[in-house]
Amino acid sequence: MKTFIVKDKDIKKSWYIVDATDKILGRLATRIASILRGKDKVIFSPHQDTGDEVIVINASKIKVTGKKLSQKEYKRYSAYPGGLNIENLETVLRKSPERVIRHAVHGMLPKNKLGEKMLKKLRVYADDKHPHASQNPKELIIKEKGQK
């Protein structure tokens, strides 16, 4: 039996749209990362970008469990003395909710050039308006825990 190698012409990209309203951040991010990587396809290959494009709307309406709103921290360092910025999840959601979802998905993708290429296929918007209607995105249903 020969090994099947995916050619670039065999990869068909499609667009998905996800409504993040009342979705739990981690569960949403894992599903998005899986689609960006292409793990839901039969032709998945770990060294190639076989994934699809994903649009996330209503990023400001995500949910988190427990006390994460006040305890989860996002750190940035400017490489200057005293340049460490620490913000909690509640502050970041208020300022730029797109950053929260992008950060969560980025942590679930490969840490190399291929992962950066996959992350570029993610578009996150704070409200329900997006400029990608001409791509005819299919709605992606993300099930909550306990749903069938």
| In a domain? residue 2 | no
Note whether residue 106 is domain-resident: yes
135 within some domain: yes
Q: Which domain holds residue 129?
A: 14-62+95-139
Domain assignment present for residue 29? The answer is: yes
What are 43-73's pLDDT values in tens digits?
A: 999 999 999 999 999 999 999 999 999 999 9
Query: Per the domain annotation, does 6 fall within a domain?
Result: no
Query: Which residue's structure tokens are 């039969």?
Result: 42
The predicted model scores a pTM of: 0.91
Question: What pLDDT score does 145 carry?
Answer: 73
The DSSP output letter for 96 is: -
pLDDT of residue 61: 96
Distances (CA, A) of 57 to 10, 24, 41, 97: 29, 14, 24, 10
Q: In CATH, what number is assigned to the domain containing residue 120?
A: 3.90.1180.10
- Domain assignment present for residue 26? The answer is yes
Is residue 73 assigned to a domain? no
Total count of domains within the chain: 1
pLDDT tens per residue across span 83-128: 999 999 999 999 999 999 999 999 999 999 999 999 999 999 999 9
